[in-house]
Amino acid sequence: MARRGLKGGLHESDAARCSRSVYFHSMSTGHDTGRGPRMTIRRLRAMADEGERFACLACYDFTTARWLDRAGVHLLLVGDSAANVVLGYDTTHPMPFELTVWLTAAVRRGAERAHVMADMPFMSYQADDAEALHNAGRLLSEGRADSVKLEVDASHAPLVEKMTRAGIPVCAHIGTRPQQWALSGGPTVSGRRRVEADRIVEDAVALEQAGAVMLLIEAVPPGVSERVIAATGLPLIGIGAGDACHGQILVVNDLVGLSDWVPRFVEPVADLGPRLEEAGREWVRRVAEGRIGGRAYTSLDSASLEPGAERVQKTPRNPEKEESVRVVMSEHQEADRNP
């Protein structure tokens, strides 16, 4: 039975598909890292078209990005969720744009191969289209992101079109949009009612037509994601949106067990929080007991630091000088007694 690709048409022959796959998977944007070419939008589209799912994670620093890149994670999102897991806020609203630029650049330096997507924080694109274009451009030019993500609906299609015309690849975040939670009083699930689901599908279609290169859908019933896939030809990344999505994303802190609470759609694969805590406790014990471990630095004059050796070299004795000093001191003392 023939399967359908992103565009809804029947797939080409196995030979043609294999040839096209080799072409896409061998093509680089001028940056071959030694572990394979950079993960481009074209390669992500090819993976989705061929039914090969891609893994995504939100992370926020060089070191984590380096390890996840080595693990083969295809896409790293520098999310505005950094306001929660890095800065400690209970919403994403306080995320500073300047910090987003810096964190994006850090993740880019750590990720040699993964596609790096930058989240546009609250009020970095809503107030003015010109400001939005400028900010998105900075994420590409200064942050070195491969694409930017905006929480949008169909009313933002003109902005997405302007960004596309400027050469800025946009991932349109639809469904539940955390930057809108102030309107509802907290986290919500979208698309449970038919009218809501219809609106999400309409948003997806409008944003694709405006030039979006990818879609991300959050916290919706799986059937809504399936409808979006059927109605559009873009790779769809899901978070709490069912298994049908071409890509899946989570916050890395949630995945590895660093969060005290995780959403219902998260199933951690590790429990690093307690292990980190125990490592801290062990360090406290070592410091208290004076056994910090490791290897000490050695002196260039190692003999002077050997056990039992004097640490300060004394000046050789001069008996004649010592005697003259003793005589002078005696004369001074005698004068003091007989003024």
Q: Which residues pair with 237 in a beta bridge?
A: 216, 247
Distance of CA 328 to the CA centre of its chain: 76
Nearest to 118 by CA among 170, 164, 159, 66: 170
Residue pair 266/249 in contact (Cβ under 8 Å)? The answer is no
Q: How far apart are CA 208 and CA 199, in angstroms?
A: 14
CA atoms within a 13 Å half-sphere pointing along the CA-CB vector of 320: 0
Catalytic site includes residue 218: yes
Tokens of 116: 């790096």
Nearest to 59 by CA among 42, 75, 46, 43: 75
Q: How far apart are CA 63 and CA 107, in angstroms?
A: 8
Catalytic residue among 50, 142, 218, 310: 218
Residue pair 41/213 in contact (Cβ under 8 Å)? The answer is yes
Q: How far apart are CA 329 and CA 339, in angstroms?
A: 16
* Residues known to be catalytic: 218
